Amino acid sequence: QKEVEQDPGPLSVPEGAIVSLNCTYSNSAFQYFMWYRQYSRKGPELLMYTYSSGNKEDGRFTAQVDKSSKYISLFIRDSQPSDSATYLCAMSARTGANNLFFGTGTRLTVIP
Amino acid sequence: DGGITQSPKYLFRKEGQNVTLSCEQNLNHDAMYWYRQDPGQGLRLIYYSQIVNDFQKGDIAEGYSVSREKKESFPLTVTSAQKNPTAFYLCASSTGRSLVEKLFFGSGTQLSVL
């Protein structure tokens, strides 16, 4: 079983829709959770991070962590064509970027 | 503009050949990393370095080598021992001092086998 599972998509939505992206994980020790956005043939960039459970909001983006279900989500409100990218979840049990486990990424297309 | 520069953008390797991927950063970050990205797989850590003249193996170090002679530079050599080198290679850096490390990535190098 993979440490982190993420539906690869692809996911297509109309402009303005609410997008829900999800990851599940098996290691109950994970406590640092991140979402990265990667445009085609570019490096990922950090969008959101949360520590332990709960929600975090930043503009149109909301990250949720449900540790009891080992499930994390990223919601995008009022989606825009510029949100079209691959979204990677990442998580770790300990501090330090050398301890990160990445999901495979979900490819999102927002249609104008 | 601060950032991470990877070169070349595309690289082709002949069988039995060693090739070196360049990574330079001007963010004054202590820590640098090399990841490999394959379709359908998450990013996998090859090597990382937290200070100059020191580096550690990641999850898939076999067939790769690195050096860290300068803070700004962390080149990756893909040796002939790496039998399946075709992948997108990403270099990243971080301060190495934060509770939740923010990774800054370069734009990647696509390596293919001729």
The string of pLDDT tens digits covering residues A47-89 is 999 888 889 999 999 999 999 999 999 999 999 999 999 999 9
SS3 A97: helix
Confidence band, pLDDT 50/70/90 cuts, at residue A9: confident
Question: Beta strands of B26-78 (E only): which ranges?
Answer: 31-37, 44-51, 54-57, 64-66, 76-78
* Average pLDDT over every residue of A8-13: 92
Interface test with B, best of A98, A100, A101, A104 (most B CBs within 10 A): A98
Consecutive sets of 10 residues in chain B, 114 residues long: mean pLDDT of each?
90 92 96 94 93 95 97 96 93 82 92 90
- Share above pLDDT 90 across residues of chain A, in percent, rounded to a whole number: 79
List the structure tokens of A8: 């690869």
Q: Which residues contact B26 (CB under 8 A, 6 or more apart)?
A: B2, B3, B72
Backbone phi, then psi, for A4, in 5-degree steps? -130, 130
Q: Residue B108 is which amino acid?
A: G
What does the alpha-carbon distance between residue A24 and residue A101 come to, in Å, rounded to a whole number?
A: 12
Q: What is the mean pLDDT of chain A?
A: 93
Contact across the interface for A102 and B92, Cβ inside 8 Å: no
Contact across the interface for A49 and B106, Cβ inside 8 Å: no
User: What is the pLDDT at residue B99?
Assistant: 63
Chain A (48-67) residues lying within 8 Å, Cβ to Cβ, of chain B: 49, 51
The string of pLDDT tens digits covering residues B39-65 is 888 899 999 999 999 999 999 999 999
DSSP string, A23-92: EEES-TT--EEEEEEE-TTS--EEEEEEESSEEEEETTEEEEEETTTTEEEEEESS--GGG-EEEEEEEE
Instruction: Compare CB distances from A43 to B31, B56, B107 and report the shortest one's residue.
Output: B107
Instruction: Compare CB distances from A51 to B44, B56, B100 and report the shortest one's residue.
Output: B100
User: What is the pLDDT at residue A94?
Assistant: 78
* Average pLDDT over every residue of A38-52: 91
Interface test with A, best of B27, B44, B50, B100 (most A CBs within 10 A): B100
